[in-house]
């Protein structure tokens, strides 16, 4: 179960990070997405494989939780002096990344993909959000982009007008439902 969830965490978090990078950050470019995902999968794989090697070598032992009520402080007060003797301090000599639970691999992969993807996108020149189709963006990203202050748009080198106002200049892409406008002014009698 742990190995299956580790592999799922290694792939699932990074995939979610890539989709989120594209949906919520219209200025992220393909170089940032590629470098972010490769770096995240390398880091999470290193964490997972390092932990498995440490467990196999006996350097890291996963302790089982106590299941007995013996020396429980709620039952009596005689076990106060022995409370720290039941907890072994195993695995302090291994790298802290190997001690992270496999349940956190998805979150680590997600955040690494987003953060490194954004850093690389800004270093290599952010994509112009005006070039991104609005249908590919999440509604919160659209409204956030439209409400950016002017100085941020200038810093990101984003044109102040994002889309042409005349719909006749927009090329049709993909499947389009073209309808006829039958308002009262256009109908010949």
- For 159, residues 6+ apart whose C-beta sits below 8 A from its C-beta are 128, 130, 153
Question: What pTM value is reported for the model?
Answer: 0.64
Structure tokens at 40: 């995240």
Q: State the Cα–Cα distance between residues 11 and 22, nearest whole angstrom.
A: 17
CA atoms within 13 A on the CB side of 50: 16
Q: State the Cα–Cα distance between residues 68 and 43, nearest whole angstrom.
A: 38
Q: Averaging pLDDT over each range in 65-74, 109-118, 149-158, which range is the top one?
A: 109-118
What is the predicted pLDDT for the residue at 89? 46
Average pLDDT over residues 42-49: 90
What is the predicted pLDDT for the residue at 157? 60
Looking at per-residue pLDDT, the higher value among 82 and 154 belongs to 154
Is 35's pLDDT higher than 90?
yes
What is the predicted pLDDT for the residue at 116? 97
Sign of CA dihedral 131, 134, 138, 140: positive
Average pLDDT over residues 126-145: 74
Structure tokens at 41: 């999968």
Given pLDDT bands bounded at 50, 70 and 90, which one contains residue 92? low
Q: State the Cα–Cα distance between residues 83 and 118, nearest whole angstrom.
A: 47
CA atoms within 13 A on the CB side of 117: 31
Lowest-confidence segment of 76-90, 119-133, 139-153 by average pLDDT: 76-90
Average pLDDT over residues 76-102: 62
Q: State the Cα–Cα distance between residues 124 and 28, nearest whole angstrom.
A: 10
Is 10's pLDDT higher than 90?
no
Structure tokens at 129: 């959000």
> Which 8-state DSSP code applies to residue 169?
G
| Residue 27 and residue 123 in contact, taking contact as beta carbons nearer than 8 Å | no
Given pLDDT bands bounded at 50, 70 and 90, which one contains residue 174? low
Q: State the Cα–Cα distance between residues 182 and 171, nearest whole angstrom.
A: 23
Structure tokens at 112: 């690494």
What is the predicted pLDDT for the residue at 18? 94
Given pLDDT bands bounded at 50, 70 and 90, which one contains residue 68? confident
């Amino acid at each position: 179960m742990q190995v299956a969830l580790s592999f799922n965490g290694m792939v699932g978090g990074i995939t979610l990070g890539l989709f989120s990078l594209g949906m919520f950050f219209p200025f992220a470019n393909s170089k940032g997405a590629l470098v972010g995902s490769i770096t995240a999968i390398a880091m999470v794989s290193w964490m997972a494989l390092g932990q498995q090697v440490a467990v196999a070598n006996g350097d890291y032992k996963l302790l089982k939780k106590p299941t007995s009520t013996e020396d429980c402080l709620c039952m009596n007060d005689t076990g106060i002096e022995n409370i720290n003797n039941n907890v072994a301090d195993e695995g302090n000599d291994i790298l802290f990344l190997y001690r992270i639970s496999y349940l956190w691999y998805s979150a680590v992969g997600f955040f690494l993909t987003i953060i490194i993807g954004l850093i690389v996108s800004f270093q290599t020149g952010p994509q112009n959000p005006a070039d991104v189709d609005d249908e590919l963006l999440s509604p919160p990203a659209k409204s956030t982009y439209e409400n950016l202050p002017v100085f941020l748009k200038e810093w990101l080198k984003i044109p102040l007008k994002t889309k042409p106002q005349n719909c006749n200049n927009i090329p049709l892409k993909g499947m389009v439902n073209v309808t006829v406008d039958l308002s009262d002014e256009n109908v010949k009698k």
